[in-house]
Amino acid sequence: AQSVSQHNHHVILSEAASLELGCNYSYGGTVNLFWYVQYPGQHLQLLLKYFSGDPLVKGIKGFEAEFIKSKFSFNLRKPSVQWSDTAEYFCAVNAGAAGNKLTFGGGTRVLVKP
Amino acid sequence: EAQVTQNPRYLITVTGKKLTVTCSQNMNHEYMSWYRQDPGLGLRQIYYSMNVEVTDKGDVPEGYKVSRKEKRNFPLILESPSPNQTSLYFCASSLFRASSYNEQFFGPGTRLTVL
């Protein structure tokens, strides 16, 4: 069965610092990759997605992610965070043969200090 | 407005008292799904439905039931809730095309506490 690992459970950083969140998955076939964000008290929002093509994808709010197939990774980055980026971030994978099923990582809580 | 709604948003109950969490979508989506979110575990799929009267187990179905009698509704039923079902529950919906993934839209969540 496929699985998704997010290496950092908690990240604390200051405004204007750069952010990188790791995500690795275990599935050898075609995958669709996602990053979701959950702001405090709110539901999940899609930040960005990768289906095919350019492995560097840009999402909303200045986030980007890079798909490295050889490393089974899909890391999320933002060059300069803001206090409003405080949230929990989830990496998710859809295996090509799994219909619409998403498998999520455990999440990373990010706290940005003003 | 296109949306997925869940009710109730918050619920505190006691062990063994049957409850239902409703989920409704107004986007004419075929696919609907329930997830539970627990700290450190992310979201895990409980049940899903690819269309009316078609449901199947996800990764953590024990202790839950679902039904899909109408396209827009996909209630989650806990016949005899236990404390280990205390969690945050999300409903999601999407179009369903067997040959491709379709973006899922999530509801606002239901926080359930079982005492």
pLDDT of residue A96: 66
Q: Which position has the higher pLDDT, A46 or A101?
A: A46
For residues A25-39, average pLDDT? 91
Closest CA to A21 of A82, A59, A61, A64: A64
Taking the Cβ of residue B109 and every Cβ of chain A, the question of whether any pair is shorter than 8 Å is answered with yes
What is the structure's pLDDT at B100?
A: 74
B19 CB near a chain A CB, below 8 Å?
Answer: no
Bridge partners of B10, per DSSP, are: B111
> Which residues, at least 6 apart from A87, have a Cβ–Cβ distance to it below 8 Å?
A37, A38, A39, A40, A109, A110
- For residue A38, the chain B residue with the least C-alpha distance is B108
Strand, helix or coil for residue B14: coil
Low-confidence ranges of chain B (pLDDT < 50): none
Percent of all residues in chain A with a pLDDT value above 70, rounded to a whole number: 96
Interface with B, mutate which of A42, A100, A104, A108 (most B CBs under 10 A)? A100
DSSP conformational letter for A54: -
Size of interface A-B (CB pairs under 8 A): 54
